[in-house]
Structure 1
Amino acid sequence: MLVLSWAYMFHFCAGIRFLLLDTHTAVSKEGGKQTSIVVLVVSTLLTLAVALKLFGAF
């Protein structure tokens, strides 16, 4: 369940990243690398929030 939620969160965040790239925001080698790291971190944090909710932490 957690792997599927991470895959969904990653896909969602990457979709937002590509929408921003379509507006020519951060269209450079450094900008692309930074936004890819942001997508990875944000999707992992969202998955941790889902895991906490799933296992009854809140």
Structure 2
Amino acid sequence: MTGTKVLEFFPAGGPHGSWPAEEYAAQRRAQGQPASVVMDLERDAFLVVAPEQDGAQAVA
């Protein structure tokens, strides 16, 4: 692995009791894809990230 890839981001100011980033990550994991949630303090957002895989980029 070479790093992480951002799959989606969600603003931190969502409605009380709403966890869209966690729900999105859980859906990805249910499909067998690794995903976790991290906080981006500069953007004030939650990021759903996954490990980048070696060789994921196709060479043209």
TM-score higher than 0.5 here?
A: no
Q: Which has the higher strand share?
A: 2
**Which TM-score applies when normalising by structure 2?**
0.35
Q: Which has the higher helix share?
A: 1
**Which TM-score applies when normalising by structure 1?**
0.36
